[in-house]
């Protein structure tokens, strides 16, 4: 090989070395891309797992809130049940109370009927004390504004004493059991 040929071969070798260092070969490029792909897959997998963890955490929090609401609701229902356990019994006793009131309103004529009337009055008072002890209260609607939640209007009458929409007379008494209307009062309302 001549000197000139050796110089040309050396220059070609140098040029080839420059291009190899400046531009990676196809195998190196593919290896770099292959390294990037697993990294991207791993990042997307981590993001998916985080999303699932957030979703499960939200579901857990919702379930916990639902359970807390359920616990409060059942405690309230249990309390109401205990508070109004006598509701049915007292409702069934109200006609008896009404009949006692009617019996007491009849005027006694003889001394014998006076003794009977006193006995009935004593029984009535005893029954009323028991019912009051359970939380029964008599409504006193005369003079109050008519309220359909606690009054049942059966008649409308003219009244100079009361303004329009006011309860004038009680036809059948109404009762409260603690803070709940047990029976609305049947009333006459001014018109």
**Each residue's pLDDT tens digit, 27-45:** 455 555 556 677 888 889 9
Question: Which residues are bridge partners to 170 per DSSP?
Answer: 187
Q: How far apart are CA 182 and CA 184, in angstroms?
A: 7
What 3-state DSSP class applies to 62? Answer: helix
Residue 17: half-sphere exposure toward Cβ, Cα within 13 Å: 6
Distances (CA, A) of 137 to 3, 148, 181: 129, 18, 10
Task: Please tell me the pTM assigned to this model.
Answer: 0.50
Asked if residue 168 has pLDDT above 80, the reply is yes
Q: What is the pLDDT of residue 35?
A: 62
- Of 1-10, 16-25, 113-122, least confident by mean pLDDT is 16-25
Instruction: Kindly state the tokens that stand for 87.
Output: 């509701």
Angle of helix 111-133 relative to helix 87-105, nearest 10 degrees, comes to 160
Residue 16 pLDDT grade (very low, low, confident, very high; cuts 50, 70, 90): low
Distances (CA, A) of 154 to 91, 147, 172: 21, 13, 10
Q: How far apart are CA 153 and CA 170, in angstroms?
A: 9
The model's pLDDT over 82-123, given as tens digits with 9 standing for 90+, comes to 777 778 888 888 888 888 787 777 766 767 777 777 878 888
Of 29 and 60, which is predicted with more confidence? Answer: 60
Handedness of CA 26, 28, 30, 32 (dihedral sign): negative
List phi, psi (to 5°) of 147.
Answer: -130, 115
Nearest Cα to 155, choosing from 110, 134, 185, 131?
185
């Amino acid at each position: 090989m001549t000197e000139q040929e050796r110089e040309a071969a050396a220059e070609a070798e140098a040029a080839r070395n420059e291009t190899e260092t400046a531009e990676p070969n196809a195998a190196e490029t593919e290896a770099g891309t292959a390294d990037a792909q697993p990294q991207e897959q791993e990042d997307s997998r981590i993001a998916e797992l985080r999303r699932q963890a957030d979703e499960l955490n939200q579901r857990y929090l919702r379930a916990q809130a639902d359970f807390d609401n359920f616990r409060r609701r059942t405690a309230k229902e249990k309390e109401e049940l205990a508070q109004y356990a006598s509701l049915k019994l007292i409702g069934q006793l109200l006609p008896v109370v009404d009949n006692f009131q009617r019996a007491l309103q009849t005027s006694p004529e003889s001394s014998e009927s006076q003794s009977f009337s006193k006995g009935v009055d004593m029984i009535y008072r005893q029954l009323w004390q028991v019912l009051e002890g359970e939380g029964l209260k008599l409504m006193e609607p005369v003079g109050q504004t008519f309220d359909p939640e606690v009054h049942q209007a059966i008649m409308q009458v003219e009244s100079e004493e009361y303004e329009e929409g006011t309860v004038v007379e009680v036809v059948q008494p109404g009762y409260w059991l603690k803070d709940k209307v047990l029976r609305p009062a049947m009333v006459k309302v001014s018109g």
